[in-house]
Amino acid sequence: MVIRIAEGHELRKQWVAYRDISPALADAVVASEDNLFCEEGVGIDFKALEGQIDAWRDGERPRGASTITMQTAKNLMLWPSRDPVRKVFEEWLTPQIALFWPKRRVLEVYLNIVEFGPGIYGAEAASRSFFGKPAASLSPKEAAQLASVLPNPLVWSASSPTPYLRKRAAIIERRVEQIRPLLNCVH
């Protein structure tokens, strides 16, 4: 947040309880960011992480293998770079968060601190900024639009989605239905 203020962005954030966020947003974010969120014991997808370490060793740019719990640790307590030192701290913090917080708490914190656009933090600020309504009122389509920007919220906008983002949002909506049996911990 300090970085965005230094960059000249207005800071928009408003914490809301998990019950005041549309279930459609929780579903869309899990479908978009971490399909196995409800199944991960310590908050780390070791298979995906191993694949990204192998890619890095092969000289490829790692895509990221961060789970929602890992992203929560990073967003809450660490800095936003891709350096290995930060990743080590993230790997150390994540199991602790997974141990002490239930899945809904992890998701509540994540949905309240994730950046949806430059200086726009959390579901409530994003919903009001992009759709002019509270997060509790988001439709599945709007929720998918918000989730679609998360890989690159400083460039992509939920209020003016590119054709690529519209396609990505539609895929997220379909994926929610496909993984519905894996979403038991978010409801």
Beta bridge partners of 115: 121
Least confident of 29-38, 58-67, 74-83: 58-67
Q: What is the pLDDT of residue 65?
A: 67
For residue 70, is pLDDT > 90? yes
- Report whether CATH 2.60.40.730 matches the domain 2-186: no
Any idea where the domains of the chain sit in the sequence? Answer: 2-186
Average pLDDT in the 43-50 region? 74
Do residues 30 and 179 make contact, with C-beta atoms less than 8 angstroms apart?
yes
The torsion angles phi and psi of 31, rounded to 5 degrees, stand at -60, -35
Q: What is the pLDDT of residue 10?
A: 80
For residue 121, is pLDDT > 70? yes
Distances (CA, A) of 22 to 29, 49, 78, 112, 140: 11, 30, 27, 13, 9
Model pLDDT for residues 126-168, shown as the tens digit of each residue: 999 999 999 999 999 999 999 999 999 999 999 999 999 999 9
